[in-house]
Amino acid sequence: MTQGVEVHRAALEKALAWTAVCDGNLQARFAGYERPVLLNILRSIDLTGYFRVYKPKYLVEGMPSYLDVTWMGLAHAIHLCGDAAMTGPGMAWRLPETDELRWADAFLYRAGLVTHFRRLAQLVRFGLATVEAKDSTSVRFLIHAQDRESRDRGAIDWYIGRMQMRDAPLLQAYSARNDAAMFAELKARVGPDPTFGIRYSSSRELEEHFEFRAELRAGRLPGHDCLSRESRIGPLAFGEWRHIVVTGMARSLKHASFVNMLVASGTQPSPAALMTIFSHETKIGGEWGGLHDLDPATTKVMLEVMGLSPTDRSELERTFDCPQALLVRGGDEFWIQPIFSGLHNPFTWVTRKLRRTFRSDWDRAVNAREATFREDLGALLTEPRFHMVPTPRKIRGPSGVKTDIDAIIVDRRCGTMALFQLKWQDAFENSLSERESRRRNLGSEGNAWVETVTRHFKGMSAREVANHLGVQPQLADTVARTRIIVLTRNAARFSGPEDQDRRAAWISWYDLLRRYEAVRRDADPLSKVWLGARRRDAPRPDRRRQGFDVDGIRVEVISQA
């Protein structure tokens, strides 16, 4: 490291240290009031979550990118509140004053800027960016690594949109039959309340209505199918955990609908103080546990998995993610029930919590993923055009160690045979350390597999490879070409050094779905997918700039690739 680089990094560390000092000053200002501060922060993030779904272009003067920044800031904001915000007798509850909500909005926004700043510093530490800092009050980041993850993010967005299109006719027919009755039910059952701002009662019809809508939403969210439903994780099967999450999503949709109805009636001017509610542990445990037929001990575990407690605070600062928990501890015997998670994707929180809490169960359950992945691949590339060899095949590497070819698919029409390695890694969200771990593991294992496969079949024709792998003789005689594909369930492409063996295509499941949809009627769709996935992303010709100020520090970001 040159002396100039050391100077810049020292200035960056000094700037980061200053944000930590400002954190401490903020904490000192609200010391003794941590519980009402946490409550108002959750009220603020609930409104952010609501606007992200229903008013995504919502703007706040003087706070650019307000919805994205506050969403990013929740983890740090909760961390600053400390354990005192979640412990103690009773429940700190009252309807907020306007100034209190504005303070919470600003607090959350500042936490988001600090989080963004710290994540940019992480990019430097992982070699994805460099930093220029004349002093600790002005920092410039130059992001030189190409954003290869954007391909997988775009594919997930495409998949969600595709599922929405698929569900649209069903929703339209359902709405035509039920919306008028549900509107009347909501209107008749809601009213203002002097203590909580809103009161309402539910009905079996309303519960079924929102459960139906929640299940449709859940079915297109990443993470809802990350394990087989029969896999045992702690006291419940994963399918049972999934059903509980859907119940929480339905509650959020129902509560937001009642709030909308009350605001529309004119009796409440704003939803800001109405989105967030709370419940005694006995009450919510009885409701959720009773609905899912759980005993008291299992109910207690279930609430902890769905919720965010003091034991989770160390996780918050490590991942840079918005902690989309369905519940947040509001006292020794109380849970705050925000809605922001249920309107988005609570599976991101719950699956991570299950993995941390029941690590050995989780590790056993992931062993069943390959079979599920094979089934999904077979359901995409179906007979009569495509033939999947019924079982994986083993080949020996140069050292004699056996290597699996997880899936073999032959296109009967054009003679292309695809050899797949299936990799289902856990999602890492915004955690750069976990991202680096996934990148290294996928690269080392995938490259070794590609090398073994290509060396094993070196000098063989495609037809000979097919015969060697046990493809039906009549079908093997038609094989004209072989394509090697490393197929991941989540991320396949990573910013940074491009060290993936280019003899193979490296592609995520969602990107495969998107690419295959575009070429499914082509003469050779497998080759089209393979070629497209191997094509390098073109670098951006422009340099994108953005900037922000946090704690008196001017931060500039330049993306060069």
79: Cβ contacts below 8 Å, ≥ 6 apart: 313, 316, 317
The pLDDT score that the predictor gives to residue 2 is: 62
Q: Does residue 3 carry a pLDDT above 60?
A: no
What average pLDDT is seen over the chain? 92
Residues 43-48: what's their mean pLDDT? 97
Read off the pLDDT of residues 520-542 as tens digits, 9 standing for 90 and up: 999 999 999 999 999 877 666 66
Measured CA to CA, the distance from residue 413 to residue 402 in angstroms comes to: 31
Residue 134 pLDDT greater than 80, yes or no: no
Q: What is the pLDDT of residue 535?
A: 86
Q: Judging by beta carbons within 10 Å of its beta carbon (0-12, 13-18, 19+), is residue 446 exposed, middle or buried? A: buried
The pair of three-digit structure tokens given for residue 74, joined into one six-digit string: 């929740």
Q: State the Cα–Cα distance between residues 224 and 462, nearest whole angstrom.
A: 38
Between helix 525-534 and helix 509-519 the angle, nearest 10°, is 130
Q: What is the pLDDT of residue 150?
A: 85
Q: Measuring CA to CA, which residue among 351, 383, 356, 388 is closest to residue 373?
A: 388
Res 87 pLDDT > 60: yes
At residue 18, the pLDDT reads: 96
Burial class (CB in 10 A: 0-12, 13-18, 19+), 365: buried
Distance CA 310, CA 328 (A): 9
Contact 519, 456 (CB under 8 A): no
pLDDT at 321: 85
pLDDT score at 103: 97
Helix (H, G, I), strand (E, B) or coil at 77: helix
What's residue 541's pLDDT? 60
Per-residue three-class SS string for 262-323:
HHHHCCCCCCCCCCCEEEEHHHHHHHHHHHCCCCHHHHHHHHHHHEECHHHHHHHHHHCCCC
Bridging pattern class, strands 416-423 and 481-488: parallel
Q: How far is CA 258 from CA 138, 188, 515, in A?
A: 47, 10, 41
Give the integer Cα–Cα distance in Å for 44 and 338: 10
What is the mean pLDDT of the segment spanning 181-187?
95
Residue 220 in tokens: 């297109």
Per-residue confidence band for 246, with pLDDT thresholds at 50, 70 and 90: very high
Confidence check: pLDDT of 289 > 80: yes
Cα–Cα dist 373/379, whole Å: 10
d(CA 177, CA 172): 9
Give the residue ranges of DSSP H helices in 62-97: 66-81
Q: End-to-end distance of the chain based on CA atoms, in angstroms?
A: 23
The pLDDT of residue 204 is 93
- C-beta of residue 423 within 8 angstroms of C-beta of residue 442: yes
Task: Provide mean pLDDT across the span 425-440.
Answer: 82
- Residue 398 or 323, more confident: 323
Q: Residue 202: is its pLDDT beyond 80?
A: yes
Q: Which two tokens stand for residue 533?
A: 């996935």
- Which ranges of 320-461 would DSSP assign to H, the alpha helix? 347-357, 359-365, 369-380, 432-456
Domain ranges of the chain: 3-145+542-559, 149-365, 369-534
Quote the CA–CA distance of 136 and 122 in Å, as a whole number. 17
Q: Please state, in angstroms and as integers, the Cα–Cα distance from residue 30 to each residue in 35, 36, 37, 113, following that order.
A: 10, 10, 8, 20
Q: What is the structure's pLDDT at 147?
A: 78
H or E element in which residue 134 lies? strand 129-135
Please give the pLDDT value at position 490.
86
Note the pTM of the prediction, 2 decimals: 0.91
pLDDT of residue 195: 87
More confident residue, 38 or 441: 38
Q: Is the peptide bond before 384 cis (omega within 30 degrees of 0)?
A: yes
Beta strands in 406-539 (DSSP E): 407-411, 416-423, 481-488, 505-508
Instruction: Pick the most confident of 12-16, 135-139, 538-542.
Output: 12-16
Q: What average pLDDT does range 436-454 have in this prediction?
A: 91
Q: Would the pLDDT of 430 be above 80?
A: no
Burial group, residue 135, by CB count within 10 angstroms (0-12, 13-18, 19+)? exposed
pLDDT of 495 reads 82
- pLDDT for 157 equals 92
Does the structure show a pLDDT above 70 at 4? no
Q: pLDDT of 103-127, one tens digit each?
A: 999 999 999 999 999 999 999 998 8
Q: What's the pLDDT score for residue 433?
A: 83
Residue 136 C-beta-side C-alpha neighbours within 13 Å: 10
Q: Which of 241-245, 452-456, 518-522, 536-540 has the lowest mean pLDDT?
A: 536-540
Confidence band of 503 (pLDDT split at 50, 70, 90): very high
**What is the pLDDT at residue 328?**
98
